Amino acid sequence: MSVKVSQPANLDKPPEVNKIDLDIGNIAVLSDGVGTADYMIEAMFNILPNVFRQLIIDALEEPLREKIEIEVRKIVDIEDIIEKHLP
């Protein structure tokens, strides 16, 4: 996952998360104890999410971007950082 954050030159405006790249690996489900239905359950839950992986990522990116932006705004105080580095 990578996140691109920018701070406008106007320090009255908070930092913004401009871009988020989210990547997820394979989604897998293991089933044990159901007998021959194990194969059907595993196939259904292991193939379908991987087919729709990009849709899942697209659905997660915006809410995740908003949450990250909220946390960045809590943590980063750009005025304080500038004051510490000024002579």
Domain extent listing, the chain: 2-85
**How confident is the model at residue 71, as a pLDDT?**
93
pTM score:
0.64
Residue showing tokens 């990547």: 23
Query: Sorting pLDDT into bands at 50, 70 and 90, what band is 34?
Result: low
Contact 26, 84 (CB under 8 A): no
CA 34 to chain centre: 35
As a whole number, the mean pLDDT across the chain is 83
Contact 25, 53 (CB under 8 A): no
Phi, psi of 20 (to 5 degrees): -135, 130
Bridge partners (DSSP) of residue 64 are none
What ranges in 1-87 are assigned the alpha helix state H?
A: 37-51, 53-75, 78-85
- Predicted confidence at residue 66, as pLDDT, reads 93
